[in-house]
């Protein structure tokens, strides 16, 4: 915490009392009460606060500075509102600004408080947490052996993050498991590549959005243009929003805008008139008129639910998977004088049909639960006998330039654009999405043929 205006509070309590009361008046506690009554009520409550602060300073078993105590009081006040509101110290505020720009050091999970327990919204794809097997819905009971009961989500983030290369152990409670699972994770720099794209097979594209940060919309535009300029025209697209914890509202609007010609994308409503906003499609969409299947699951939250809800309500995509997380609130970052900030829930958002998804989520059009691929049995290597290459002093095999180039080409193709068969084989939801897109093409042909035959019969 930076020293400055708050550091003077370490001197006379009269100054501290004046500062706290002045702050209360600036915040505007008196908005809904008659002026004099509000002033008296606030004065009495703030006097109790300063008395408690003075007693803690004088008598608590360990020495605590006013700065620490006031920060804790603000954190407690804000965290009592809802799981997503929090007070950010200057250091935490800086970290948040870095995150939205593209990278941070940690394990790569989005967490919230659900029923008083720290809960994983989703692991970010490709991060240490994702590779360690952390799943959406996991409940974090301990962090490095310390119980998380009573810990805010911001405190938990602080405990989980640390220097690159250091290890943190998360003790989690998982549905279907009889005991706590201790999962060690090595911290690393988390580069947030928010948009990835592949060709599943000729004519069928895949776009994965893992989070909504600065440049997500522009990265999506590049991905769509790349897929749409291949030799074989795009017949269908899978938009994967699974385990996407959300992010910036304006980027969610920008992403949905790439798929919609017109109409409402999302609306927000709060207590103040300025918080009632309607975001509409601008008509500058990048996507073609091919069919789209949008994949969601219980880790699809916030901004990603806005996109899924808009596509569903405008019948632009079939939503497939399992019901999404259900975070239908908007948080506003309000900078404070101490260089910290309030992350405050200021509005609820509504999808185009007027549905509020808070605590309900987006219900898929086609429900398909994820089926983890069966674990491969440990195969013992078979003994093939002694071969020429095993003999002492045997000459090495000559390199086959043709085979080497072929393998290199295949590797480059897989890495660059085409999805591997192994990747597809491990994901039953993605396979179902591809099947649906293919069936779509068949139904279109059948419908056209039927219409054509009907017209011929009438002419006769």
Residues 235 and 185 in one domain: no
Report if residue 40 sits inside a domain.
yes
pLDDT per residue as tens digits for the range 90-114: 988 987 887 766 667 899 998 988 8
Report if residue 174 sits inside a domain.
yes
Report if residue 199 sits inside a domain.
yes
Q: What share of the chain is helix, strand, coil (3-state, %, to 5)?
A: 40, 25, 40
Structural domain boundaries, residue 120:
103-190
pLDDT score of 84 more than 60: yes
pLDDT score of 401 more than 90: no
Q: CA 307 to CA 323: how far, in whole Å?
A: 14
pLDDT score of 151 more than 90: no
Residues 176 and 313 in one domain: no
Assign residue 158 the CATH number of its domain. Answer: 2.30.42.10
Report if residue 249 sits inside a domain.
yes
Residues 209 and 163 in one domain: no
Residues 53 and 130 in one domain: no
Q: CA 225 to CA 232: how far, in whole Å?
A: 13
Report if residue 67 sits inside a domain.
yes
The closest of 246, 278, 271 to 344, measured between CA atoms, is 271
Residues 9 and 32 in one domain: yes
pLDDT score of 4 more than 80: no
The closest of 320, 294, 290 to 307, measured between CA atoms, is 294
Residues 258 and 338 in one domain: yes
Active site amino acids: 302, 313, 327
Residues 313 and 226 in one domain: yes
pTM for this prediction: 0.75
Residues 215 and 352 in one domain: yes
Q: Give me the number of domains the chain comprises.
A: 3
Residues 291 and 176 in one domain: no
pLDDT per residue as tens digits for the range 365-395: 999 999 988 866 544 444 444 455 545 455 6
Report if residue 403 sits inside a domain.
no
Domain stop point among 190, 220, 240: 190
The closest of 131, 135, 248 to 190, measured between CA atoms, is 131
Residues 200 and 186 in one domain: no
The closest of 201, 190, 200 to 95, measured between CA atoms, is 190
Report if residue 414 sits inside a domain.
no
pLDDT score of 42 more than 90: no
CB-based contacts of 253, cutoff 8 Å, min separation 6: 265, 266, 279, 306
Supply 9's token pair. Answer: 């509070």
Domain stop point among 367, 402, 427: 367
Residues 206 and 348 in one domain: yes
Report if residue 430 sits inside a domain.
no
């Amino acid at each position: 915490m930076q020293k400055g205006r708050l550091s003077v509070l370490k001197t006379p309590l009269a100054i501290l009392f004046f500062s706290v009361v002045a702050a209360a008046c600036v915040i505007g506690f008196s908005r809904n009460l008659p002026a004099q009554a509000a002033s008296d009520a606030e004065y009495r409550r703030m006097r109790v606060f300063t008395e408690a602060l003075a007693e803690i300073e004088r008598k608590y078993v360990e020495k605590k500075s006013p700065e620490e105590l006031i920060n804790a009081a603000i954190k407690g006040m804000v965290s009592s509102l809802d799981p997503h509101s929090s007070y950010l110290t200057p250091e935490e505020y800086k970290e948040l600004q870095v995150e939205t720009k593209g990278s941070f050091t940690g394990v790569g999970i989005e967490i919230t408080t659900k029923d008083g327990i720290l809960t994983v919204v989703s692991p970010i794809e490709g991060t240490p947490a994702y590779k360690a097997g952390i799943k959406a819905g996991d409940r974090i009971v301990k962090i490095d052996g310390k119980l998380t009961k009573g810990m805010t989500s911001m405190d938990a983030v602080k405990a989980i993050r640390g220097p690159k290369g250091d290890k943190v152990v998360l003790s989690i409670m998982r549905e279907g498991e009889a005991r706590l699972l201790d999962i060690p994770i090595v911290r690393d720099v988390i580069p947030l590549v928010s948009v990835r794209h592949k060709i599943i097979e000729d004519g069928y594209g895949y776009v994965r959005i893992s989070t909504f940060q600065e440049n997500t919309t522009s990265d999506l535009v590049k991905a769509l243009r790349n897929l749409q300029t291949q030799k074989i025209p795009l017949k269908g697209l899978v938009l994967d929003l699974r385990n996407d914890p959300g992010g910036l509202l304006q980027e969610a609007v920008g992403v949905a805008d790439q798929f919609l010609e017109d109409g409402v994308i999302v609306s927000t409503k709060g207590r103040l008139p300025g918080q009632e906003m309607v975001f509409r499609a601008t008509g500058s969409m990048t996507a073609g008129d091919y069919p789209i299947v949008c994949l969601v699951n219980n880790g699809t939250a916030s901004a990603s639910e806005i996109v899924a809800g808009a596509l569903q309500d405008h019948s632009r995509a079939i939503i497939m998977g399992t019901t999404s997380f259900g975070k239908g609130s908007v948080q506003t970052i309000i900078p404070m004088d101490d260089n910290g900030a309030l992350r405050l829930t200021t509005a609820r958002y509504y999808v185009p049909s007027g549905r509020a998804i808070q605590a309900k989520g987006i219900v898929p059009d086609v429900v398909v639960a994820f089926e983890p691929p069966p674990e491969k049995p440990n195969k013992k290597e078979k003994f093939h006998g002694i071969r020429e290459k095993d003999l002492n002093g045997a000459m090495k095999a000559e390199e086959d330039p043709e085979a080497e180039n072929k393998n290199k080409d295949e590797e480059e193709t897989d890495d660059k654009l085409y999805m591997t068969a192994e990747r597809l084989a491990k994901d039953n939801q993605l396979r179902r999405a591809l099947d649906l897109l293919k069936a779509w093409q068949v139904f279109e042909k059948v419908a056209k043929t039927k219409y054509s035959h009907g017209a011929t019969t009438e002419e006769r």
